[in-house]
Amino acid sequence: MKKGIIAGVILLPIMIVLGYELSSGRTPGIKDDSGNPIPESIAALESVNLGGMQQWILIRGNDTSNPVLLWLHGGPGAAQMPVARHFNGELEQDFIVVHWDQRGAGKSNPRHFDEQTMTFDRFLDDAHELTYLLKQRFNQEKIYLVGHSWGSHLGILLVQAYPEDYHAYVGLSQLVDPLAGHQVSYAWLSDEIERAGNQKDMDRLTQLGPPPFTVHSNYVTFAGLVDKYGGSMDISMLELAWIALQAPEYRLGDYLAWLNGSTRGSGPMWEHTLSFNMFRDVPHLDLPVYFFSGRNDYNTPLELVEEYYQALDAPLGKQLIVFEESAHTPNMGEAEKFYRELVRVKEETYP
């Protein structure tokens, strides 16, 4: 009898942990200051079929009568779902915030995922399908769209094709012209490494040679150096990992899938990414446009965003908001200002 009790004591927590890890995750309900559930709120973690594939979305908001805000993450493998609430949870007061793990990212990166489906047209169609589903679900004619980094590449072409679906577009760390961006970043990085007197890093940069970085692995090395010298992430990867590991929306397998998707990055679409040029491809937009850029961003350099902002024909309005203390992730580096500016976007464009 005692052996059975001991075995049960040992197996029970193991079974609980296994059950927890085999579940799909959860997201906590939204409560008021007294700890009571808010009746009008929504907190849902669910899968939807986009382009013939089950993909995961997180929907959270204090009031389902608020407008929907769809967030297109970067990467394309850098899903924001496990860190979104930590940095930008305040947005749930003013929007129904939807984070989507795109195909090949996070919870939407299954073990036998086919990388051949990672084409730009497929991503564009997935995003269009998701927009339609959200409009139907919340009975809204239009929604808001935020595209970050790679998501801004996808986002700006999405609103160009379907401007009638969106109240406004926010390009966060907007990708403008990757080849020109490499040139700007390379010049800045060379100066930074020389100023630091780091011969090892200078040798690595010399070995890479000047841009363009047509080989994806070379670009990954280059981007790592840009980040090391403060031109990319505003939060250390160690801190981000610690925040992400506390997210109830993810399980152990999701973190492994996230790492796999993030490491893959834009490799399958690298040739398409290098050919992108907003000056040529997106000269005009038929909706209000906002660009949120960090002063110290040398992943998607502010210099090019400023040039494009001046050239863009946007008859319904355009604005450039510079985050003086941030690089590539103003939503993390200056989260309070990011929140205020997005609320202002809503105030200026929501009917």
In the chain, at which residue ranges do the beta strands (DSSP E only) sit?
42-50, 53-61, 68-72, 96-101, 143-148, 166-172, 289-294, 318-323
Give tens-digit pLDDT for 52-105.
999 999 999 999 999 999 999 998 889 999 999 999 999 999 999 999 999 999
Instruction: Give the orientation angle of helix 120-137 with respect to helix 150-161, to 10 degrees.
Output: 70
pLDDT at 266: 78
Q: How far is CA 242 from the centre of its chain?
A: 18
Which helix or strand (DSSP H or E) is residue 1 part of? none
Q: How far is CA 337 from the centre of its chain?
A: 18
pLDDT at 17: 39
DSSP helix/strand/coil, 294 = strand
Q: What is the pTM of this model?
A: 0.92
Give tens-digit pLDDT for 156-170.
999 999 999 999 999
pLDDT at 264: 83
Is the previous residue joined to 212 through a cis bond, with omega within 30 degrees of 0?
A: yes
Q: How far apart are CA 312 and CA 279, in angstroms?
A: 8
State both tokens at 36.
Answer: 């009571």
The stretches in the chain having pLDDT less than 70 are 1-23
Q: How far apart are CA 105 and CA 149, in angstroms?
A: 15
Q: Are residues 41 and 30 in contact, defined by beta-carbon separation less than 8 angstroms?
A: yes
Q: Which class is 42-179+231-349 in CATH?
A: alpha beta
Q: Are residues 220 and 265 in contact, defined by beta-carbon separation less than 8 angstroms?
A: yes
Domains of the chain, by residue range, sit at: 42-179+231-349
pLDDT at 233: 95
Q: How far apart are CA 209 and CA 212, in angstroms?
A: 9
Q: How far apart are CA 270 and CA 274, in angstroms?
A: 6
Q: How far apart are CA 176 and CA 281, in angstroms?
A: 10
Is the previous residue joined to 330 through a cis bond, with omega within 30 degrees of 0?
A: no
pLDDT at 37: 93
